[in-house]
Every structure is written in C-alpha cells, then in structure tokens.
Amino acid sequence: MIEARNLEKRFGKQLVFKDVNFKINDGEFISLVGHNGSGKTTLVKILMGLEKKSGGDILIDKKQTIGYVPQFRNIDLDYPLDIEQFVRLNLKWKLSPEKRRKDNELVNEILEKTHLTELKHRPLGLASGGEKQKAYLAQSLLNDPKILILDESTASLDVEVKMQLMDLVQELNKRFKLTVIFITHDYELSKKYTKRALFFENKTIKPISINDVSEDMFELGGR
Amino acid sequence: MFGYEFMREAFIASTFIAITAGIVGVFVVSRNMSFLSHTLSEIGFAGASFGVLIGISPLAGMILFTMVSSVAVGSLSTESSRREASISTISSLFIGLGILFLSLSSQSSSYATNILFGSIVGISAKEVQQLMILAVVVIVIIMVFYKSLAFDSFDHIGARAAGLKTRFLSVAFLITLALSVSIGSQIVGSMLVFVLLTLPGATARYLVHSVPKLIMVSVGLSLAGVWLGLYLAFVTNWPVTFFISSFEVIVYFLGLSYKNWKLSH
C-alpha cells in the first residue's frame, strides 16, 4: 500500500502541493488527473525516491520495486537495438551461467506477456508507436515491479493501439496484482480502466471516484 | 614489414588503440558525443604542446588537458541544449592555448605536424608500453560499468527511471573518453583520432542490433582500418592517417547503403 499523510512539496518558495492525503491499495489501477504543471510527475518522482518531499509523510514499502514507463524516449529511425535487446538493457550483469539462463527465461516470459515475442528481432527504431510503448513497458517489468507507473504512455497513440496497450496493462494488473498508477489526459481511458483517480487541483491532490471525474478535469492547460 | 622494429611497435600500439577506440566508439556514438570527441582531440593537441613546453611527455600533457576539459564540458553541459555551446567555448580556449604553447616552446613545426596528424615512426618501445597500460585501464573501466553504461547510453531516460546513477556514469565515461583520445592520438594524430572513435561505432549501428555485437563489429572495423592503414603506409610511404580515414569512411557509406537497401527490401 502507498499512503500519503499531509504530504507537501515545494520547489524553493513555489508550492507544488500541500495537505495531500490518500491511500493507494495493492493491486489498484488508479488514474492521476490534472492539468499540466499540477504536480503529477513530481508526485511520481517522490514515490520513486527521485525527488525529496518538503513535508508530511509518504509511506511506501521499500521492498516494493517500482517500474516506471516514461512518456518520452530518444528513439529515432537509426536506433540500433532490436526490441529484445532494448528490453534486456534493464538486466544486471550476471556471471553464473545458471543466473544468465534464468534471465533469458525471464526476458522470454516478459516478451510473451507483452505480446512482443514475434517482434523481438525488429529494430526498435523501426517499430510502430504502440510497439515501442510495449517495449518500454516490457523493459520496466524486468525488475519484477509491484507498482507500475505509466506516465502518459498512451498520449501519441491511435485509439485502437491505445486500447490494446491498456488492455495489456489491465491484464497485468489483474493477473499479477500489479498496482498501476496511470498519469493521463485521456478522459475515456481513465473512465474505462480505472475506478478511482487522484485529482490534482488548487495546489493539492484529492482522491475521487471515477464517477466524479469530468471531462474538464483533463484539460491540458491551467485554469 | 615486421623486420623493422618501428613497424612492430607501431603495429602493437595501433592494435591496442583500435581495440580501445572500437569499444569506446560504440558508446560515443550512442551518447551523441561525436562532436565532443572531435573537440577533445583538439584539446589533446593543446595538452601535447603544453607537455612539450614544460618538458613532460606529450602523452602526459594530453591526458591532463583532455581529462580536465572533458569533466568541465560534462558538468557545463548537463542541459543537452547547452552542450554544443559549452563544447565550442572550452575548445576555443584550449586551441588558442595549444598554439601559444607550441610557439613558446622551441620544437620545430614538424613536431606539431606529428601531434596533429600522427606518425608511425615516432613511437618508442616505452611509449608502446604506456599505451598498452592505458588501453587496459580504459577497457577495465568499461567492463566494470558495462551493463549500466550500456543502459544509460542506449536508453538514458529508461536508465534514470530504473534508478541508475547516470551523472556518475557520465563522468566515468568522459574520463575513459579522454584517455582514449590521448591514446589514439599517438598513431593517427589528434586531428583524426575521432575517426576511430566515431566511424566504426557509427557503421556498426547499420549492421547489427545488440550491444555486444555492436562492440565486436566496431572493434573489427577499427582493427581492419589501422592494420590496413599501417600496411599501405609502409608500402607507399603515404601518411597512415589518410588510409585509415579513407577506409573507415568507405566502410561507413557501405554500411549506410546496406541499411537503406535492407529497408527497401
């Protein structure tokens, strides 16, 4: 479980959010919703330990590895690695043949889970937007995370591909009790896949039921 | 040609240089540091002439200057948008200094030509030994950090997301790059060491799709270039650098054509 108690974050004098209280249960699939600059990525960075909180508490089991799928990657047409090799970047160096064999099994299993087995030898630079997102997802699954954070991973995809990716995430969420935190500006996806949202507004964050989210909460700009 | 001692020394030295540059080059290209490696070689020139001026070995001067400047550039260019400007700034300063040092020292201009464009005859057994040690140091550093360095170089954002210490890796890599530039300059010269540090690594990207294979192909092309270059330089008495750069450029375009051909089929 993840719990925030009176969490506060400032950059210098500038307040990002304060009085933040919420719980995210194990195996939950939750949306983070709010306009750009409202602090969604900042909260995620605090969860991952990449950013320090300014006050309050954030309780999270240190043993729970977090898989983070960032929004942007620098992958151009000439990017040389194929999908399997890209995924394997997240493996540690192992000397023992036994451990290396296990790693290979793990990689195959994850490629299978993410429906990438048949595409594994395709250079990532030549893969479609949806295939790239699946590869990013697969790479972050290598650490066997208990929490998966998707940072606007569906933003630049066609509707159909978006759905495929989200179906896949939902499958992982259900089969492996993976907690999924989904940062999004997509009202439809949020409604379809998640039951609750953390709503970022007026320098604070409130947990709300997905039935209470409205389309204007997903506006990109500030209000 | 191995009847001559200087050729044997040159052969051993360039083999070590090629292996080092081939390995490091894969990371140089994937980290978009081709321009930096070119600049470091110019800075290496300043270091070598500084060495000559104060009476230490040109290699030591080179290592000193490239290391200091690479770390300076690295810390000045944490924002990628600022990287080109800070590289240009640092290199302008050092090139100016290099010319000053050379004019202050009493060495002839042929000495400067050797530093800039390389020479196969100028290398002594002792220098070969130094090169070998430095090459081994570079290779060991790369091996120790191999996995993290590969992750950071081929997917910087993913590596940060996975919690890797990317700032530290970046500094460690800049130091190995500085060492590689200093080593490479001994045969191909500081002006063209970046040929070995960028072209084989760039060509490999058109041919293979995993990090170990990229390294193997890059080292292979780098070795082929220096061996062929040495042989042709010996036979024709033309500069070795000309042959090495021509070979690497031709292979680069062949690699690019191969990739385009594969895409259209």
Looking at the complex, report in whole angstroms how far the Cα of residue B251 sits from the nearest Cα belonging to chain A.
Answer: 17
Looking at the complex, report in whole angstroms how far the Cα of residue A202 sits from the nearest Cα belonging to chain B.
Answer: 28
Return the SS3 of A32: strand
Q: How confident is the model at residue B44 (pLDDT cuts 50, 70, 90)?
A: confident
The one-digit pLDDT tens for each residue of chain A (223 residues) are: 899 999 999 998 999 999 999 999 999 999 999 888 889 989 998 988 888 999 999 998 877 788 888 877 888 888 999 999 999 999 988 888 999 999 999 999 899 888 899 999 999 999 988 889 889 989 988 888 899 999 888 887 888 888 888 998 998 899 888 999 999 888 888 889 999 999 998 889 999 888 888 877 776 654 4
Determine, for residues A89 and B205 on separate chains, whether the beta-carbon distance falls below 8 Å: no
Q: Which residues of chain A does B162 touch, with a Cβ-Cβ cutoff of 8 Å?
A: 68, 90, 140, 143
ipTM score of complex: 0.85
**Orientation angle between helical segments A129-141 and A159-175, nearest 10 degrees:** 20
Of B151, B160, B263, the CB nearest to A90: B151
* pLDDT 10s digits, B154-212: 998 888 888 888 888 988 999 999 999 888 887 778 777 889 999 999 999 999 999 99
Centroid of chain to Cα B139? 13
Determine, for residues A89 and B158 on separate chains, whether the beta-carbon distance falls below 8 Å: yes
Please list the alpha-helical segments (H only) found in chain B: 5-30, 34-54, 58-76, 80-104, 109-117, 125-144, 146-154, 156-161, 166-188, 193-204, 211-236, 240-263
Sign of the CA dihedral with A42 first, then A43, A46, and A52 last: positive
Determine, for residues A86 and B154 on separate chains, whether the beta-carbon distance falls below 8 Å: yes
Nearest residue to B204 via CA among B61, B41, B22: B22
DSSP 8-class letter at A158? -
Q: In which region does residue B226 sit, left (phi positive, over 0), alpha (psi from -120 to 50) or beta (all else)?
A: alpha
Q: Which residues of chain A does B159 touch, with a Cβ-Cβ cutoff of 8 Å?
A: 89
